[in-house]
Structure 1
C-alpha cells in the first residue's frame, strides 16, 4: 500500500513540476528610430506589433527635406519572421511594401559661360515597391532594442521612379 501511495505522489508531483516555461510576450509593442538616417540628415521612425514569439507586423515612415535625395517620403509596412532563441529577437527575414514619393533625375549643372550652377528639376513620382530584407535584433532585459537591417525592393508602376529601392539602417528603440 505504501508503494502505491508513493507512486501516486511521485506521478502527481512530477506532472506539477513538468510544465513548460512558456515565453509569452508581455511586451508586444516597439517604437524605434533609425539612428543612421538621423546622422545623414533624414528621419525614419518605426512601430512594430509583435504577433507571437516568432513574428511581427510593423510600419516605417521615412522623410527628408533635401533636394539631393530622389525619395523624400516613404511609408513601408512590413512582416518579419524571427529565428532567434529569445522571443521576437535574433536573425529575421522581412517582406515589405513601400509607398514612396519624390523627384527622380534632379541634378545640378555648371554653366561655364556664366560661371554659375543651376538646378535641373527631375520628374515627380509616386510609386509602390515590393521587396525583402534581412537583419538582426537584440533586446535588452529592460526593453531597449538595437537592430541592424538591410533590404531591397523594386518599384512596380511609375516610369519616373527609381527602378530599385533600398531599405535599412541601424535602429534604436524601446519595447513596451
Structure 2
C-alpha cells in the first residue's frame, strides 16, 4: 500500500511540475501594469498607479495620491501625476530608470477657525489651491516571470503656479510599489 501511494505521489508531482511550466506566461507579452504604493499605505495615504509599457525601454503612466490620515497629511488633499520613463536595462521595461513627471496637487493653505465666547466652533474657513509641478525621478523595477512587479522610486519637483504666494515650492514622490503586469 505504501508503494502504491508513493508511486501515485511521484506521478502527481511530475504532472504538477509539467503543468506549472506550461502555465508560465512570458511577462514580455504583457504591456499594462497596475501598482499600489505600500509605503504610503503605512503612513496614511492611498496611491495607485497605472503604467503602459510602450516598448523595450520606455513606458508612460499615471498615479493618483489621496491621503486618508489627516494627522500625517494635514494640508494635503490629493495629487495626480502623469509620468514618462526610460529604462536602462536589457530586460523588457524593467531595471534602472529615470522619469520625468508633472503633478497636479491640491493643498489647503490657510485655515481660520472662528469660535464664540464659550469656545464653540462657529465657522471654519480654508483656502485651497491647486498647483502644477514639473519634476524628475529615478528608480528600479523588477518583474517576475509571472508578472509580479516590485518597484522602488523617488523623485522631486517644483510647483510652478502658486509657489511664491503660499511657499510650497517643492513636491516629492517616493514609494515602494507592488503590482501586477498584465
- Asked if the contact 1:32/1:171 (under 8 Å) is kept, the reply is yes
Q: Pick one of 135, 141, 145 that aligns with 1:141.
A: 145
Residues 92-112 of structure 1: per-residue CA shift (max 9 Å, x gap) = 0000000011213669xxxxx
Q: What is the aligned-residue RMSD (CA, Å)? A: 2.5
8 Å Cα contact 2:46-2:68 kept in structure 1: no
Bigger radius of gyration? 1
User: In the TM superposition, what are the counterparts of 1:8-157 in structure 2 within 5 Å?
Assistant: 25-68=28-71, 69=73, 70-104=75-109, 123-157=127-161
Runs of 4+ off more than 4 Å: none
CA distance in 2, matches of 1:163, 1:122: 19
Measured in 2, the distance between the counterparts of 1:67 and 1:161 equals 20
| Per-residue CA distance 1:80-134 (angstroms, 9 max, x = gap) | 0001121000000000000011213669xxxxxxxxxxxx976421000000000
Residue ranges of structure 2 left out of the alignment (5+ in a row): 1-25, 113-123
Structure 1 unaligned blocks of 5 or more: 1-22, 108-119
Q: Which structure carries more helix by proportion?
A: 2
Count of residues paired in the alignment: 145
